[in-house]
Amino acid sequence: MHTTTGNADPTELAKFAALAHSWWDPNGPSKPLHDLNPLRLEYVERIAGLASAGRASAGRAKKQVLDVGCGGGILSESMARAGAQVLGIDLAQAVLDVADLHALEAKIEVQYRAVAAEDLALERPAAFDLVTCMEMLEHVPDPAATLAALATLVKPGGDVIVSTLNRKPRAFAVAIIGAEYLVRVLPRGTHDYLKFIRPSELARWGRGAGLELENLTGIAYNPLTRAFRLSPDTGVNYLAHFRRP
């Protein structure tokens, strides 16, 4: 399905589609996603309580989770393993095909669809307990519109969790010069510094969409050990937790 909003960059989609064949290789170009995933899941579970939902009695419904910009499904599968009912959406069909195949082989129940968040918001407003959108906002032409769609998709009282990169010189040095050119843990051209998003901008867009910002948490990376950890420093990568009143 093609987006009716036009809020997608074909160049960006092609960039990630080219990585589809190696998405689940823990030592391939997507290695940073594999390394970062446990930390993302820890943050999500702390906020949304997916693990407790998964261990609930049979009479209690699983949490409905939407993973926007899911790629090959690394986080989507992890949230499903934790007990959630997960729908992953993306506009790069090649990576969705990989996600479908991997979930089938791993015997994990995850649904995937090629649909834009803006289109799904028209189809299924207020349908999800939790909406996640990791490292995608800096790759779309209008990130504020995408955040507004996430706000529409989540139920009142539900949570929206996004991660992105801060538009500060240090982020340019770490995420582009360091990660793409020096350490080479990311393919060159993965990021465009001018598309990075300051927390103040993200908070403003969230307020405009009717969301309340609950938490900002930085992600620190040690290039020597290639280990990630949560940090109060939001100067490079950061996670934002919003709640819909």
Per residue in 184-229, pLDDT (tens digit) is: 556 565 667 678 899 999 999 999 999 999 999 999 877 677 688 9
Separation between Cα atoms, residue 174 and residue 194, nearest integer Å: 15
pLDDT of residue 190: 67
Eight-class DSSP state of 124 = S
CA nearest to 242, candidates 166, 164, 175, 167: 164
Residue 61 pLDDT grade (very low, low, confident, very high; cuts 50, 70, 90): confident
- Check whether 183 has a pLDDT greater than 60: no
Is residue 125 over pLDDT 90?
Answer: yes
The answer to whether the beta carbons of residues 32 and 179 sit under 8 Å apart is yes
- Interatomic CA distance for residues 109 and 166, integer angstroms: 34
- What is the chain's mean pLDDT, rounded? 87
Question: In 10 A of CB 227, how many CB atoms?
Answer: 12
Q: How far apart are CA 211 and CA 220, in angstroms?
A: 26
What percent of the chain has pLDDT above 90? 65
Determine the angle formed by the axes of helices 93-106 and 74-81, rounding to 10 degrees. 30
Q: Percent of the chain beyond pLDDT 70?
A: 84
> Is 60 exceeded by the pLDDT of residue 4?
no
Give residue 56's pLDDT: 46
What 3-state DSSP class applies to 194?
helix
> What is the pLDDT, as a whole number, of residue 181?
39
Neighbouring CB atoms inside 10 A of 57's CB total: 5
Q: What is the DSSP string of 16-49?
A: HHTTGGGTT-TTSTTHHHHHHHHHHHHHHHHHH-
